[in-house]
Amino acid sequence: MSSNLNILRGAITEPDESARLFGAWLDGALALPAPFRAWAGAGSVEPDPATLREALDRGAVGLELAADVLAAPGALDHVAPLLDVLDSAGRPLLVHPGPAGAAGGPGRPAWWAPVVPYVAQLHAAWWAWIAEGRARHPRLPVCFVALAGLGPLHGERQRARGGDGGAIDPLTFVETSSYGMLAVDSVIRVLGIDVVCHGSDRPYAAPPRLGLGAAALQALDSVNPGRLLAHVPQEVYA
């Protein structure tokens, strides 16, 4: 959960559950008092653009999509109807880890899933978006939680293996989750400060204190999230 974006996230992906469960979840999430607001889930197995439009009209901030879904081969074709709805509304996409699956099964320590499969999913989703997503949706704001699994730090390797680094994308943001100064500073050195948003892993972990100056903290806490949510009606995130 991102403390500074003041958003409650949720995702329903099973096609036989999504219509009823997501409707009930959204009813409850939209009834929460400020500062909490909901991200929509509109099905990733069977994308449902009509449900997404309705959720946005009711006050959802944007769409949350699981990182493993975005990273899958052919995913951008599959979820294009949902991203087109966001594009037309100017609403953001939030990329969050999906289920850990067998990788986080019995015998693993409690920290394994968030440290290993979640990070790997986000890393893959970041590069899937860099490789194809932005070219297909040039105006869509997107935010990857947990510093995109530190995917941005691997740009040197991508370029060394024939990738085109390109310019910094001002509409592709990352959120800090429970990362501290070492990781945040490293990502800022690669992406610049203007696309980094301060958040947390609450209720699992509070956000670490970042040893940045007042202007930098203002950017992470307020200015950058404001740019990410620039086209969201004010009452959704005020």
Within a domain: residue 25?
no
Q: Residue 108's domain spans which residues?
A: 65-74+88-237
In a domain, 9, yes or no: no
The per-residue pLDDT for range 171-185, each reduced to its tens digit, is 999 999 999 999 999
Total of domains in the chain: 1
Q: What is the pLDDT of residues 120-138, one digit of tens each?
A: 999 999 999 999 999 999 9
Strand, helix or coil for residue 156: helix
Contacts for 100 with CB less than 8 Å, ≥ 6 apart: 112, 113, 117, 118
Q: How far apart are CA 115 and CA 178, in angstroms?
A: 11
Give one word for 131, left, alpha or beta, with left for phi > 0 and alpha for psi -120 to 50.
alpha
Taking the CB of residue 62, how many other CB atoms lie within 10 A of it?
A: 29
DSSP, res 38: B
Give this prediction's pTM.
0.89
CATH code: domain of residue 159: 3.20.20.140
pLDDT at 109: 93
pLDDT in tens, 55-80: 999 999 999 999 999 999 999 999 99
